[in-house]
Structure 1
């Protein structure tokens, strides 16, 4: 803001004081995403690769705008346990250390997923031996970070778009029970972390979302440890933000679990992108148990789908209209400011 070149006129000062006294409930708007989200009782985060922690412009923006980090690949099976029983946490440790040094929350991602598996896992033909490997992997990874990760994506994407179980190596050789086994192993390894199921294209009502809902409802009813459900939030011209997103989030929350937006991104630009972001964030803000909003990255510059410009901050670190639409939605929810 430009400084005034002269003193404020007495009449203007009096009017300003009168307005402030007349509205004592008003609060100042926050100027960063993390502060605005915190004012609503939520955390605002981003997916972060460890390799960018030495890039000054990147970390400056990360520190200023985000209060949570999700490792991009650093905790995935083919990175941390490329050889059975031999764990390499160097990159993941770097991210967690960085987050802790700045008071950021950490989302562990991911303990069990059909993708990015080392060959030795895929080649286990016995269901019993694969289950043992799954349990040992979760014990090794979640146990290493015990007490340092706020929430774990225990299982990613166990369902296909039709709502049927995805034909993964775990589903094929262990059966339906593999998801429950993963959550039980995660609770044993780190009972302090919140345990989440995470998936994409589940933002509104539909067969896939219904299947995840049934899984969570069953887990809650039987006492299987689950604390949260993550909605990845990939939106584009073929998959728009659904009008029933808030209602869908609410039905999950009504089961007694928290709901998170975990990798929110909207391809496009300008006001159309800004409006879509605002609708998605507002859906979360309408549900008290929607406690985390995280976008897919800090800046388009390093995003895997950079050509689609899906994030809030562009490749030159300029804030897009979408950034301001999200900031306004958070501030309005926190303060009534607009």
Structure 2
């Protein structure tokens, strides 16, 4: 999606050195990152001339300290045929994370979408499908064992009304597939943190938020480990949660699991883009950043890519776009500066607090 020159001018912030991850850590988060994908995939195919600039920004450790494979670890790529594994696409991002020194979040072991066709086209008995899920989880998780800081074990198990999504997994196994998936993921890679990940679970009164809490309790009541909840954060500039909403929701999850995170953040704008919409978007990004800092269990934030032309949004929602901090011409939206403002504010508060604490300790030693 192309922006007019006047809106691009308004969307551009003063040139600043790479710093999102740097300042997020200064503010107390573990990471600020961006998902990425294999060159040539759908969104990227028309833009090969931009790859070198994209790679330069992505690689900078001060800008992004974490990444997630957008597509490469999904079932259709890693097990295209029964029992036949192909890790080419997933390994691209895993190796890129190693090369650029980034934390790797892995995504996703069991999801109803982007399945290999054979999974949905077969009429399974419960025992047969259990065996298929187990083989898939062990095959994939063991391949990436020791590389993934987090795994999105089950992704989007909830429908829009908060009930379980009628996927092939649920239709055959009911909610048992969720328990089995987390059990087997823990066995396959005991060192990784296991997440439930979903969209629309950011607002405290949402039926999907209630559904996510139900899933966490289901696992905990069964004695099955779950380490975190991933709030995807596919938000809307003109109707986004408040900072207080985010804090309340994050706190509700944090009462049940050790960690929470914003895992797929973007803030879409209804086109055409204008200054008011960019201001709403900036506010939405800031609310996410501030709420994550305010809730100690919130470990970090991941953008669902960072460069507008590589965003999934216009392909799925044609009347929306401009969801990411970098514009098509590589200028930055006000949202970028807004994130830095929040991180610097809390970094200073943290530094002041630590300085006062150090001063008190020194005075006690002198006394």
Q: Compute the TM-score of the two structures, normalised by the length of structure 2.
A: 0.80
- Matched with 1:34 is 21
2:32 counterpart SS class: strand
- Matched with 1:192 is 191
1:267 counterpart SS class: strand
| Contact 2:229 2:257 survives alignment (8 Å) | no
Q: Unmatched 5+ residue regions in structure 2?
A: 1-15, 270-276, 315-319, 352-367
- Matched with 1:241 is 241
Deviations 1:13-51 (CA, angstroms, capped at 9, x unpaired): xxxxxxxxxxxxxxxx99510111122132111110121
- Matched with 2:69 is 71
When structure 1 is superposed on structure 2, of 185-194 and 219-228 the one drifting more is: 219-228
1:44 counterpart SS class: strand
Instruction: Say which of 55, 58, 62 aligns to 2:58.
Output: 62
| Contact 2:29 2:293 survives alignment (8 Å) | no
When structure 1 is superposed on structure 2, of 50-59 and 174-183 the one drifting more is: 50-59
Partners in 1 of 2:185 and 2:247 — Cα distance?
29
Q: How does 1:81-230 map to 2 (within 5 A)?
A: 81-125=79-123, 126-205=125-204, 206-230=206-230
| Contact 2:237 2:280 survives alignment (8 Å) | no
Deviations 1:192-235 (CA, angstroms, capped at 9, x unpaired): 11000000000012211011112213323432111010001111
Deviations 1:245-291 (CA, angstroms, capped at 9, x unpaired): 11110111111320010111111352221111101221111101100
Aligned alpha-carbon RMSD (Å): 1.9
Instruction: Say which of 302, 309, 329 aligns to 1:294.
Output: 302
| Contact 2:29 2:298 survives alignment (8 Å) | no
Deviations 1:45-78 (CA, angstroms, capped at 9, x unpaired): 1110121798210111112211111111100000
The 1:316/1:30 distance shift into structure 2, 3 A limit, reads closer
Q: How many angstroms does 1:129 deviate by?
A: 0.6
Q: How many angstroms does 1:239 deviate by?
A: 4.6
Q: Matched residue pairs, number?
A: 309
When structure 1 is superposed on structure 2, of 37-46 and 236-245 the one drifting more is: 236-245
- Matched with 1:6 is none
Partners in 2 of 1:202 and 1:225 — Cα distance?
20
Partners in 2 of 1:264 and 1:35 — Cα distance?
18
When structure 1 is superposed on structure 2, of 146-155 and 268-277 the one drifting more is: 268-277
Partners in 2 of 1:230 and 1:324 — Cα distance?
25
Higher relative contact order (CA 8 A, sep 6+): 2
Partners in 1 of 2:245 and 2:90 — Cα distance?
36
Partners in 2 of 1:182 and 1:113 — Cα distance?
11
- Matched with 2:253 is 252
Partners in 2 of 1:155 and 1:30 — Cα distance?
37
The 1:250/1:105 distance shift into structure 2, 3 A limit, reads same
The 1:30/1:37 distance shift into structure 2, 3 A limit, reads farther
When structure 1 is superposed on structure 2, of 46-55 and 319-328 the one drifting more is: 46-55
Deviations 1:131-188 (CA, angstroms, capped at 9, x unpaired): 1101100100011000011100001110112111111100001111100100111111
- Answering whether residue 74 of structure 2 is matched by residue 47 of structure 1, we say no
